[in-house]
Each structure stands twice: as structure tokens, then as C-alpha cells.
Amino acid sequence: MRNQIAIVLMLVVSASLFAQREVKLKIVETSDIHGNYYPYDFIFRHKDEGGLANIYSFVQQKRNVYKDNLILLDNGDILQGQPTSYYYNYIDTVSPHLAAEMMNFMGYDAGNMGNHDVETGHPVFDRWARQCHFPILGANIIDTLTNEPYFQPYVTFKRDGVKIVVLGMITPAIPMWLAENLWSGLRFGDMEETARKWMNIIRRKENPDLIIGLFHSGKGQQIMGEKYRENASRRVARNVPGFDVVLIGHDHTRYCDKIVNVAGDSVLIMDPANNGFVVSDVDVTLKLNAKGKVVGKKISGVLSEMKDYEADPAFIAHFSPQYKAIEQFTNKKIGKFTKAVSLRPAFFGPSAFIDLIHSLQLEIGKADISFTAPIAYDAEIQKGCVRVRDMFALYRYENMLYTMKLSGREVKGALEMSYALWTNQMRSQKDHLLLLNKTRQGSQERALFVNSSFNFDSAAGIIYTVDVTKPEGEKVHIISMADGTPFCPDKIYKVALNSYRGNGGGELLTKGAGIPKEELKKRIIFSTDRDLRYYLMQYMERKKVITPHALNQWKFIPEAWTKPAAVRDSKLIQSSSGELVEE
């Protein structure tokens, strides 16, 4: 009898095991593509090892294995960064947007909004979203009229008997960077609060087997403007139980790791950095019992390099007409430089590259003082014919120009913070002049410095020195206005700067100058209605021939220390490898 019972039990267990099955899913995330659609950089005219064309080859290879069980997701910032996107944002607005056309061709299952997508303005991002044949997500982008999400908060997929939900969110710090007219009628909710709300809804309404967070927000902890948690993804993954995978972006930093959330569950977090050089490549294996209930999960991920995949020929052929239109646009001649200029010297003192922007800002903004920073770190424009593409090297993003009212004391405060972000406090002649990032983590551009170079504002219109032996608050000594008249701390000056800075970006005006965030808007007395690059191109076409030159209105001191240190540090910045090699 015992033997019979044992045999029956073994048969029941065997039948149960036999009834179990596995479902394998492949999740692929792209993020921060920034207009890198083709395997070619239209600004610097060289082949790229990443971008949508290469990614499509990778995706197609994986689809051959996973079929419909591959889910392709984009995490935002796809609409700004290269002439490819600019052309279809603002020049050819009649044709379907190239980003939408390419993403439809590639078979994206969902997209997410990024801050640089919002920066294109309603006419652009609304048109793009309408033309995408898949949902664009944004659970914390709220329509102020309805108090409901402006975009779809989440999307549900059913694959091979399992249910997957993807919840999309964006960094809420957009009011710190972008003019309100770009995102009129919207507000941006706190990510953790929004995640808690929608997690409850998703669990109750959808009862999914796998929940993926798609967050255009990095993993840091900083708070912008004392109210916006810019990079909250890791915090949400830890504090809001329910996510199996959290795919992140925005901070241009490669990342792949697992954390344990407050409920004791493991959460995979991945960030493919920027420009499509790598993708987040996630493998999910779900074990289902006879009733179709998930009884086990195995989740792993790697960052897959796109340089190992050639651009897909079908993709290139299909989008060849658009390529030719962009190439024609970027090759248009707009003027002539009598000598070459490079952005590299801008980190060590006045430069012809940056001072050209200063001069333009002072002229257009009818300002007393100009603030600007290096948008890239290693751009060059050669002597001779200047083309549209060179203007993208000179000025990378679509910021507008503001003229704002600042007191002399606020001008100094903003510069004090800028140079504290930018320069090391030298204590000996052998120290670094620049505040360099020795860990070299992050994308190539951001790995060079401890802080982001687009916050390294210098000024024009005033004569000043920067003493790098002093701490923040004591570095900057303003001698006079550029015309020799006195500079007064209590006087109100007209200051020209870009809209990112004027809205609080980098916090130079809020933390540095001490201006409350809510007061910034009141300080704006002039704004362009087009991006600064548009005016740069107009300026070039009007002047025809330009001899770029440094204004030489400021310098680092003591020069006996800073000049040799500048020579040493310039050698450390290796543009090709991004490696910091000590002599």
C-alpha cells in the first residue's frame, strides 16, 4: 500500500513539474540618443559606433531568437542633440518627424519623455508623439486643466501568457531648466509619490507578472532648487516595492547593478548612458505553474556595445532620402573664419570660441554683462568656410537667450559658484588648476570633470580675476566694467545668458547669486523667440567674414602657478580615450 501511495505521489509531482513552463523575455532599452539616428556624426563628420541604425541590427538579431517576446523601449532625450533632430524639429515641419518614422520602423513598443524632448516645445513633441505608432509615457507629466497625466502613464503587454507593465516617468526638475512656454499647461510631479500612486493602481487593476520602471532620471540624490529631486530613479526602486526592473537615463552614466528594496526584493537597475553606444540588454525568465501563475523569476542584464554591430542596410536604405536632406542642410555655407578656433582653451582662460558667443549675447540682448559656458568640451571650427554644422559644434542645444536684471553682488555670487565648480583650490604649484574627475566614470564628455562643464560660466562685459588659491566666495575679484567704468555691487545690470541658466539650471542664479527660484521669472526683461544657434547662424550670414578673437577680460591668478598648471592639465585631457594619465 505504501509503495502504491508513493508511486501516486511521484506521478502527481511529476505531472506538476511537467505542467510547469518557462517564458523567456528580452527587454532592450535605449536612452539619451540625442539625435544619433545614423552611424554618422553630422556635426564632426565622422563615423559613429552607435545610434539607431546599429541598434536596429542588434534588435533584429535578438528578434530572430525571441520573436514577439522582445520588448523595445526608449527612455527619452531623442529629439535634441544632432542636426538630424533639429532639421525635423524646426526646418522641415511638414514631413513626418524622422525620429517617429525610425522608431516605428524599428518596432518600438513604448517610449518615454525626456527633458530635452520637452525642450523642443509643444509643437514639436506633440507632433512627434502623435506620429509614433506606440505609446509615449509620462505618469508624472500632469495636465494642469484635467489634473491627469498628459501622456499615457503606463502600458501593458501580454507575451506568451504573462503580463508585463511598463510605467514611465521623467525627472521633475524641468522648471529649473526650461522656459515655461515650452511646457505650458503642464506640471511635473515628484517621482516617488507618483510611483506609489500608480503602483497601487497597476497592482489592483492589472495584476501583472513583471513590472518595469522606465525613468528618465539618473541615480543620484541631489535636490534642485530645494524642491526637485532630479535623479530619483534609484530612490524609487528602493522605496517603492513592486518593480522588478528599473531602466533609467538622463545622467549619461553607464550603470548595471541590483539593489534590494525596502520589501527585501531584488531590483535590477540599468542605464545605457547616451548616444546609443550601448543598450540595456535584459534577460527575464519566468517560471509558470500549471495554472499559469508565476512561481519563479530570474532577471539579469548587461550593457551591450553597439560598436560590435554594423548599421542595418535596410534601415540605411529606407532612410536615405532624409539623410541627404540633412546633409544638404548641414553643408550650407554661412560665412568664413579667418582662423581656426577650439573650445579647449576656454577651460584655462578667455577664448575666441566662447567670446564669440559672449559678443553675440551682448549685442542681441542689449546687455551690460554676458554669462556663458562651454556646451561641449572639445569642439573645433577650422579656418575658412563655416557651415551650418559648425554652429552645432559652437552651440550644442536649443537654448534661447534671456536678458535679466541682476545686481553686481548677484553677478559676483554666480561667478563664485561657477569657478568653484570649475577650478581646484590650488595649495601648491604642483596642484591641478581644474577640478578633474580622476575616477573617469560616465560618458566621455562628463568623465573629464568633477562637475558638468555646461555650468562653467565665464563673463564678458566686466574685467575680473579668479584667484584659484582662494575658497568659494573669495575667488572672484571684479575690477571694473569692460569700458573702465566702476563696477558696483548694489547697481542693477542687464545680464545676457541662456534660458537654461535663466530658469535656474545649474543653480548658479539660485544658490550662487541667492535669487529665489520663484523670482527668476520676474527678472527676465527680454527673451528671444528662437534658439541662440539660429541667431549665431544669422550673425554669420550677416557678417560673412569673422576674425574670432579672445576679449581677454578675465584671467586666473597667481599666474606663476596657473600658467604651468594649465599646461599640465591640458595634457591630461585626452579627447580620444577620455583617460586621465598623470605625468
**Percentage of residues in the chain having pLDDT higher than 70:** 93
Tell me: do 321 and 462 sit in the same domain: no
pLDDT digits (tens, 9 = 90+) for 202-245: 999 999 999 999 999 999 877 887 788 999 999 999 999 999 99
Tell me: do 192 and 320 sit in the same domain: yes
Which structural domain, as residue segments, surrounds residue 497? 332-572
Q: Give the residue carrying C-alpha cell 525627472.
A: 171
- Give pLDDT, residue 15: 44
DSSP-derived secondary structure letter, 501: H
H helix runs in 240-319, sequence order: 313-318
> Does position 377 have pLDDT exceeding 90, yes or no?
no
Tell me: do 154 and 217 sit in the same domain: yes
Q: Among candidates 234, 232, 255, 276, which has minimal Cα distance to 72?
A: 276
- Residues 436, 441, 444, 445: is their CA dihedral positive or negative? negative
Grouping H, G, I as helix, E, B as strand and the rest as coil, residue 387 is: strand
> Does position 67 have pLDDT exceeding 90, yes or no?
yes
Tell me: do 534 and 441 sit in the same domain: yes
Q: Among candidates 183, 98, 107, which has minimal Cα distance to 141?
A: 183
Helix (H) or strand (E) holding 418: helix 408-422
Report in angstroms the alpha-carbon separations of 275 from 34, 49, 135, 190, 256.
6, 9, 22, 27, 17
Tell me: do 299 and 346 sit in the same domain: no
- Give pLDDT, residue 3: 58
Tell me: do 178 and 136 sit in the same domain: yes
Report in angstroms the alpha-carbon separations of 428 from 348, 469, 470, 507, 563.
18, 8, 12, 30, 13
pLDDT digits (tens, 9 = 90+) for 314-352: 999 999 999 999 999 999 999 999 999 888 899 999 999
- How big is the chain, counted in residues? 583
> Does position 11 have pLDDT exceeding 50, yes or no?
no
> Does position 286 have pLDDT exceeding 70, yes or no?
yes
Tell me: do 203 and 70 sit in the same domain: yes
Task: Over range 449-471, report the average pLDDT.
Answer: 96
CATH number assigned to the domain comprising residue 522 = 3.90.780.10
The answer to whether residue 13 is domain-embedded is no
Give strand pairing partners of 548. Answer: none
Contact, 276 vs 36, CB < 8 A?
yes
Tell me: do 359 and 317 sit in the same domain: no
Summary mean pLDDT of the chain: 92
Give the end of a domain, one of 299, 326, 353.
326
- Total domains in the chain come to 2
For residue 580, what is its C-alpha cell? 586621465
CATH number assigned to the domain comprising residue 73 = 3.60.21.10
> Does position 503 have pLDDT exceeding 50, yes or no?
yes
The answer to whether residue 517 is domain-embedded is yes
H helix runs in 289-443, sequence order: 313-318, 320-330, 352-364, 388-394, 408-422
Give the end of a domain, one of 326, 344, 379.
326
